[in-house]
Amino acid sequence: MSHNIYIEHFLYVEEIELLVYISLILGTVIFLYGIWRAYNRWTYGGERPSIDNLGLRINNFIKYGLLQKKVLYRPYEGVMHLLIYIGFIILLIGTVLRALEADLTLKLFGIRLLTDGPYLLFKLALNIAGILAIIGILMAFARRIFFKSRYLPNDVEDNLILFILLVILSTGYVLDTISTAAYRMDWINGWDPVGITLVKYFSSLPDIQFIYKTIWAIHLLLAVFMVAYLPYTKLFHIIAGGVLNTFFARTYAPQEFQPIPDIDEVVEKGGTPGAGKLMDFSWKQRLDYDACIKCARCTDNCPAALSGKPLSPMDLMLSLRRLMDRGIFDDELVPKYIEDDVIWSCVTCGACVYQCPMLIHHVESIVDIRRYLLGKGEEVPEEVLQVSYNLMRYGNPMGSNPADREQFIQELVDETGVEIAEGGKKYDYIYWMGCQTSYDPADKTIAKSLLKLLVSSGLKVAVLPEENCCGEPARRIGDELMFKELVNMNKELLGRYSFDKLLVNCPHGYNVFKYEYPYFGVELDVVHHSQLLAELISKGQLTGLNSFDENVTYHDPCYLGRWNNVYEEPREVIKKVVGDKLIEMNRSREQSFCCGGGGGHLFFEIKRGERISRMRTDEAISTGAKRLCVACPFCKIMLKSEAGDDIEVIDIAELLDRSRSQDAE
């Protein structure tokens, strides 16, 4: 079969054609060794990837890998990456097609793939793809030079890779243009826009064959070099992140911290649960470390990093990766390789997890290290051990006397008319007050306001005569054994009562009851008070609400907002009494900035840098609002302690109650 248009392979470069095969074989060996090395370090210790939930996994791969949902979430970086991504995918397909034709179909069967129409399409597609990729790379350079984010690394590797890609792309165009110049075929004009545009600069060059040959070799060797070293550079994110980490993404929700099923057995045998060494992490966690692309979106949004604490989620991932590079699997991580304050700085706000385009779960690894440190009782802040000890002895993290709670319950009965739960009776809601609301004077008022609202709206709600800690602080500081104990105690406690829903005003309790208790066989229908209040408002069951004519702002608690997607209900509650006077802070909803009290930090402080609570309070004050509404007792304590007289920190239930009890302005 004869064609009018086809590719003359290896034109001008027949004598160095061998270079293709030598470099390709060498490159493939280097590349495969890198993949093999990576697979071995992920599966070090014998754990193998499992492919359960195939449907969900394929879906995740398409959504986050192929379609890059989380990359596109940032407009500039999203477009920048998309251009490079699409550009190189098309170029890769084109190059593979051409190689297939040259070395397979043509040699073996005498068949050409790229002829006539298909060839013209091929030519045009590659022309466009190259331009897209070049624009993307120039955008990347522009970002690095003119508006780099605070924590974006900008070292030689980062820039060199961009530069090499740029050289590969431009040499590709030069080769294209020279062949265009050589053929001087008019019919190709529309299909080779770059070649045609540049051809005039190349037609008069002397010894064009030599130039072509040299550039061809450079283009070839650089391309093979980049592929060969892909598993050793940040470009490995394509495989470890884009393909594998999206496909093998956690199939549970990120806010479901995982139990250690055999914890009793581990302790029995004298072991320490959690991750003390690299080899204690799961294969998936080690895949996380290789998936990191160093975009720094985690660290740029990390309250610990931004407040001057030593934690940078990205650097932690990269430190762990470097330890894999060095093959240090069996050495204790803290304090030799990782400073203890790094691990204890985390407020578990989840900003890093939310931001990460590669679906890395930084907090999971941090909690695993905490579990180990706490189990050993070494490299743990004294106050953290105190929390753990208080839980053991008093059943609450502060070490408060449970008798005080009994007294407060009586006060609630007298003032709000709420019932104390009794076995055998049936309730719509059991209100789990939680430790802070039970004991802290700043939070007790939330319970009073909430119960006044609920009792008056006719709900059948009861408080428990006794409560233990829900276990959230235990889990976040890594005291998994204590957590398990508390879950079992609360399972037994709640089992004594009959109720439809468990009502909480603490997002930490909300998260732990909803997502972490089911692993221990405790299934509860959990409602946060913002959800219940919003429902009562929409049904018209809350009466006598007056409106306030003053600006307020709202702080999204991490465990209600980012981790649990409850953004609207608290705002509906606030808007009910302030209308359009709700001013948003710069960082709100998914971007919300932690109050500083998560991850056990309500009970201890890493005294380095600024206080996170101070930064957040300043942000609230800068809106000019008179009140800072919260929906979490932790947030209330943290922010109130910084607010002074500058802004009033108030829970949404208190806001509603206040609007009823006094004539609003």
Partner 1 sequence: MDIAVLVKASLDVNMIKADSEGRILLDSIPLAISEYDRNAVAEAVRIKGELGGRVVAFSVLTWGPADKRAKEIENVMREALALGADEAHVVVDDAILPSDVSVTAETLSNLIKKTGDFGLILAGEGSMDMMSAQLPVRIAYKLGYPVATFARKIDVINGAVKVTRDLEDVLQVVELPLPAVVSVTGEINQPRLPTLLQIRKSFAKPYKAYTISEIGMDTPEKLFPFDDIKLVTVSRKNMIIEGENLEEIAEKLIDKLIEEGVVRV
For residues 140 and 84, is the Cβ–Cβ distance under 8 A?
Answer: yes
Q: Which stretch binds partner 1 (CB under 8 A): 8-16, 270-278, 548-556, 594-602?
A: 270-278
SS3 at position 473:
helix
Question: Site for partner 1 (CB under 8 A): how many residues?
Answer: 23
CA 126/CA 95 separation, integer angstroms: 9
Q: How many CA atoms lie within 13 A of 315 on its CB side?
A: 17
Minimum CB–partner distance for residue 172 and partner 1 (Å)? 60
> Taking the CA of residue 321 as centre, how many other CA atoms within 13 Å lie in the half-sphere pointing to its CB?
24
Q: In the bound complex, what is the minimum distance in angstroms from residue 401's beta carbon to partner 1?
A: 5
Minimum CB separation of residue 613 from partner 1 in Å reads: 20
Q: Which is nearer to partner 1, 45 or 399 (CB)?
A: 399
CB of residue 398 to partner 1, shortest distance in Å: 11
What are the structure tokens assigned to 57, written together? 């996994």
CB of 382 to partner 1, least distance (A): 8
Q: How far is the CB of 599 from partner 1 (least distance, A)?
A: 17
Among 45, 402, 465, 609, binds partner 1 (CB under 8 A): 402
Per DSSP, which regions of 535-581 are E strands?
A: 552-554
By CB under 8 A, residue 413 contacts partner 1:
no
**How far apart (Å, rounded) are the C-alpha atoms in residues 366 and 5?**
60
- Edge-first strand listing for the sheet containing 627-630: 582-583, 552-554, 627-630, 648-651
Residue number with CB closer to partner 1 (386 or 445): 386
Residue 389 makes contact with partner 1 by CB under 8 A: yes
CA distance 412 to 560: 26
Distance CA 241, CA 361 (A): 12
Residue 73 or 389 with smaller CB distance to partner 1: 389
| Of 17 and 646, CB closest to partner 1 | 646
Looking from the CA of 40 toward its CB, the CA atoms found within 13 Å total 9
The yes or no reply on residue 393 touching partner 1 (CB under 8 A) is yes
Kindly tell me the burial class for residue 273, based on how many C-beta atoms sit within 10 Å of its own C-beta (0-12, 13-18, 19 or more). buried
Q: Which is nearer to partner 1, 24 or 482 (CB)?
A: 482
User: From the list 110, 270, 521, 540, which residue makes contact with partner 1 (rule: CB under 8 A)?
Assistant: 270
**Residue 589 backbone zone (phi > 0: left; psi -120 to 50: alpha; other: beta):** left
Sign of the CA dihedral with 228 first, then 230, 233, and 239 last: negative
* Residue recorded with tokens 């045609």: 196
| CB 194, CB 169: distance < 8 Å | no
x/- track of binding to partner 1 for residues 216-255 (CB under 8 A): ----------------------------------------
- The neighbour count for residue 104, using CB atoms within 10 Å, is 12
Q: Is 641 in the site for partner 1 (CB under 8 A)?
A: no
**Cβ atoms 557, 634 nearer than 8 A:** yes
Using CB under 8 A, pick the residue from 388, 511, 531, 553 that binds partner 1: 388
Q: Name, in order, each residue with C-beta under 8 angstroms of 38's C-beta and a sequence gap of 6 or more.
A: 231, 236, 239, 240, 290
Q: Are 559 and 632 in contact (CB under 8 A)?
A: yes
> What is the pattern of x (binds partner 1, CB under 8 A) and - over residues 49-88?
----------------------------------------
Residues making up the chain, counted from first to last: 665
Q: What 3-state class would DSSP assign to 409?
A: helix
The answer to the question of residue 392 lying near partner 1 (CB under 8 A) is yes
394 binds partner 1 (CB under 8 A): yes
How many angstroms from the chain centroid is the CA of residue 491? 31
CB of 410 or CB of 565, closer to partner 1 = 410
Site for partner 1 in 367-386 (CB under 8 A): 374-375, 377, 382, 385-386
Encoded one letter per residue, x for contact with partner 1 by CB under 8 A and - for no contact, window 525-564 reads ----------------------------------------
Query: CB of residue 407 vs partner 1: minimum separation in angstroms?
Result: 10
Residue with smaller CB distance to partner 1, 1 or 403: 403
Decide whether 229 or 394 has the Cβ nearer to partner 1: 394
Quote the least distance from Cβ 580 to partner 1, whole Å: 38
Q: Tokens 């050289």 belong to which residue?
A: 167
Least CB distance to partner 1 at residue 412 (A): 18
What distance, in Å, lies between the first and last C-alpha atoms of the chain? 89
* CA-atom Rg of the chain in angstroms: 31
Selected binder of partner 1 within 138, 227, 243, 267 (CB under 8 A)? 267
Q: Which lies closer to partner 1 via its Cβ, residue 405 or residue 528?
A: 405
Smallest gap from residue 399 Cβ to partner 1 (A): 6
We find the least distance from the C-beta atom of residue 482 to partner 1, in angstroms, to be 5
Bridge partners of 431, per DSSP, are 463, 503
Binding flag, residue 272, partner 1 (CB under 8 A)? yes
* Closest among 337, 340, 342 to 309, alpha carbons compared: 342
- Smaller CB separation from partner 1, 167 or 260: 260
- At closest approach, how far in Å is the CB of 524 from partner 1? 24
Least distance (Å) from partner 1 to the CB of residue 479? 7
Nearer to partner 1, 343 or 454 (CB): 343
Exposed/middle/buried for residue 125 (C-beta within 10 Å: 0-12, 13-18, 19+): middle
For residue 588, which amino acid is it?
S
Smallest gap from residue 380 Cβ to partner 1 (A): 8
Question: Per CB under 8 A, does 273 bind partner 1?
Answer: yes
Q: 477-516 mask for partner 1 (x: CB under 8 A)?
A: --x-xx--x-------------------------------
Distance CA 66, CA 83 (A): 13
Q: How far apart are CA 552 and CA 575, in angstroms?
A: 10
Q: Per rule CB under 8 A, is residue 410 in the interface with partner 1?
A: no
Residue closer to partner 1 by CB (options 423, 644) is 644
For the CB of residue 226, give the shortest distance to partner 1 in the complex, in Å: 49
401 is a site residue for partner 1 (CB under 8 A): yes
**C-beta of 176 vs 479, nearer to partner 1:** 479
Q: Are 128 and 68 in contact (CB under 8 A)?
A: no
Of the pair 162, 385, the CB lying nearest partner 1 is at: 385
- Rounded alpha-carbon distances, angstroms, from residue 221 to 4, 20, 22, 26, 232: 31, 8, 10, 11, 17
Among 193, 399, 465, 609, which residue sits at the site for partner 1 (rule: CB under 8 A)? 399
Residues 321, 328: Cα–Cα separation, whole Å: 10
If residue 486 lies in a helix (H) or strand (E), which one and from where to where? helix 480-495
Which spans of this chain sit near partner 1 (rule: CB under 8 A)? 267, 270, 272-273, 374-375, 377, 382, 385-386, 388-389, 392-394, 399, 401-403, 479, 481-482, 485
